[in-house]
């Protein structure tokens, strides 16, 4: 037993050194290896772009030393595909090691051949740009006693959309990410990212906008005897309403509410929503910068004659 542990650490060091020498020899050899590499760039003629997404990656065979195969940097950099021979149109490009290259070629790594797919479809279009309006997808609710002054300032109100010309014709506006703000008492400035329209190769410049929201104290105004409108009523029935009119109390920006005409308010019920007692819920429509504080009736009874 003593002989086993004699010079124990020297034996351990010898084993480790032997392993390192073996590993060095093995990894210095060249190997052929099949692996999947990302397509990082498809090179086109100037002012051309793709209008359809190409494959994300290719299965290829490479020759490299064992050390290179263990490294990830050159793998992550991916492949470049040369398609500069094509103009606008749709083409099937046969892939080989002449038009497919490693992004950063190395003497230690050689691209032997393409395994799959060996052909890719390219839809090539002219790269174009145009100005498009911005529509904020924003819901803003002020706290009690306050209101949001309209309109909300959008900077910029238009942005540049860039991409394949055939796709750009479809778009008239671009939306922001959805956002809801509640309980506002003070002015707010918020930046919202823009959502690029659906389609390959489309980008926006800039990719976000700034919204300035002005919050002001509100004023209350009462509108008496607003007539109730009935929707979806059958033409062959005669009916009366109780009550036939409703009083509505609105809050809103002082300068706006003083100018608000009662004709801008609609009090309505839906005939299809009548319950067993003949009651239908009241719906009050008003401009977006006003809020209904209260009304004299939450429902109206329809009396069939």
The 10s digit of each residue's pLDDT in 201-251 is 899 999 999 999 999 888 899 999 999 999 999 888 888 999 999 999 998
Q: What is the pLDDT of residue 230?
A: 95
Task: Give the domain CATH number at 230.
Answer: 2.170.120.30
| Same domain, residue pair 225 and 200 | no
- Residue range 272-296: mean pLDDT, rounded: 92
Q: Which among 37, 109, 49 is positioned nearest to 78, based on CA atoms?
A: 37
Domain final residue pick, 117, 144, 166 = 117
Task: State residue 150's pLDDT score.
Answer: 75
Tell me the CATH number at 81.
2.170.120
- Band of residue 23 on the pLDDT scale cut at 50, 70, 90: very low
Closest of 129, 132, 194 to residue 164, by C-alpha: 129
Domain assignment of residue 195, yes or no: yes
Across 253-275, average pLDDT: 91
Mean of pLDDT values over 52-75? 76
Same domain, residue pair 212 and 135: yes
Asked if the model's pLDDT at residue 304 lies above 90, the reply is: no
Taking 70 as the threshold, does the pLDDT of residue 160 lie above it? Answer: yes
Looking at the structure, do residues 72 and 89 belong to the same domain, yes or no?
yes
Specify whether 251 is located in the same domain as 275. yes
Domain presence at residue 14: no
The parent domain of residue 184 ranges over 127-217
Q: Is 55 within the bounds of a domain? A: yes
Q: What's the chain's average pLDDT? A: 86
- The residue among 198, 207, 131 whose CA lies nearest residue 167 is 198
List, for residues 164-189, the tens digit of each pLDDT value: 999 998 899 999 999 999 999 999 99
Tell me, yes or no, whether 87 and 99 share the same domain: yes
The verdict on residue 252 lying in a domain is: yes
Q: How many domains does the chain have?
A: 3
Question: Do residues 202 and 233 share a domain?
Answer: no
SS3 string, 230-249, reads EECCCCCCCEEEECCEEEEE
Residue 22, pLDDT score: 46
For residue range 101-156, list pLDDT tens digits in order. Answer: 887 666 577 788 899 999 999 999 999 999 999 999 999 988 888 888 778 899 99
Q: For residue 5, tell me if it sits in a domain.
A: no
Q: What is the CATH number of the domain that holds 187?
A: 2.170.120.40
Q: Is the peptide bond before 117 cis (omega within 30 degrees of 0)?
A: yes
Quick check: 31 pLDDT over 70?
no
CA atoms within a 13 Å half-sphere pointing along the CA-CB vector of 179: 18
**Domain presence at residue 107:** yes
Please give the pLDDT value at position 8.
Answer: 54
Res. 190 pLDDT band, cuts 50 70 90: very high
| Residue 122 within a domain | no
pLDDT of residue 288: 81
Q: Are residues 210 and 231 in the same domain?
A: no
Evaluate if residue 4 carries a pLDDT over 70.
no
Question: Could you tell me if 61 and 108 lie in one domain?
Answer: yes
Q: Where among 217, 243, 268 does a domain terminate? A: 217
131 and 109 assigned to the same domain: no
Whether residue 151 has a cis bond before it, omega within 30° of 0: yes
Domain's final residue, options 173, 196, 217: 217
Asked if residue 282 and residue 251 are part of one domain, the reply reads yes
Residues 146, 109 share a domain: no
| Higher per-residue pLDDT: 74 or 295 | 295
- Residue 273's pLDDT band, with cuts at 50, 70 and 90, is very high
At 164 the pLDDT is 95
Considering the domain boundaries, does residue 193 fall inside one?
yes
pLDDT, one tens digit per residue, over 64-94 is: 765 666 565 667 788 999 999 999 999 999 9
Verify that 237 and 297 share a domain, yes or no.
yes
């Amino acid at each position: 037993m003593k002989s086993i542990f004699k010079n124990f650490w020297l034996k351990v060091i010898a084993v480790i050194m032997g392993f390192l020498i073996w590993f060095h020899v093995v990894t210095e050899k060249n190997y052929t290896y099949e692996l999947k590499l990302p397509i990082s760039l498809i090179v086109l003629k100037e002012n051309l772009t793709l209008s359809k997404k190409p494959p994300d990656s290719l299965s290829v065979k490479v020759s490299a030393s064992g050390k290179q195969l263990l490294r990830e940097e050159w793998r992550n950099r991916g492949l470049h595909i040369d398609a500069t021979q094509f103009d606008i149109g749709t083409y099937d490009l046969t892939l080989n090691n002449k038009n497919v290259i490693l992004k950063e070629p190395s003497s230690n790594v050689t691209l032997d051949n393409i395994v799959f797919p060996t052909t890719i479809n390219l839809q090539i279009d002219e790269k174009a740009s145009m100005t498009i309006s911005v529509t904020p997808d924003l819901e803003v609710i002020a706290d009690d006693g306050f209101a949001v002054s309209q309109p909300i300032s959008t900077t910029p109100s238009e942005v540049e959309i860039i991409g394949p010309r055939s796709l750009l014709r479809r778009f008239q506006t671009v939306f922001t990410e959805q956002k809801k703000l509640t309980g506002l008492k003070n002015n707010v400035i918020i930046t919202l990212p823009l959502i690029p329209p659906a389609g390959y190769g489309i980008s926006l410049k800039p990719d976000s906008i700034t919204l300035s929201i002005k919050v002001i104290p509100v004023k209350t105004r009462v509108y008496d005897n607003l007539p109730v409108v009935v929707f979806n009523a059958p033409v062959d029935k005669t009916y009366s309403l109780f009550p036939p009119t409703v009083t509505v109390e609105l809050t809103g920006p002082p300068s706006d509410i003083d100018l608000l005409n009662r004709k801008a308010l609609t009090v309505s019920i839906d005939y299809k929503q009548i319950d067993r007692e003949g009651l239908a819920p009241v719906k009050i429509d008003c401009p977006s910068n006003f809020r209904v504080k209260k009304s004299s009736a939450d429902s109206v009874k329809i009396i069939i004659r």
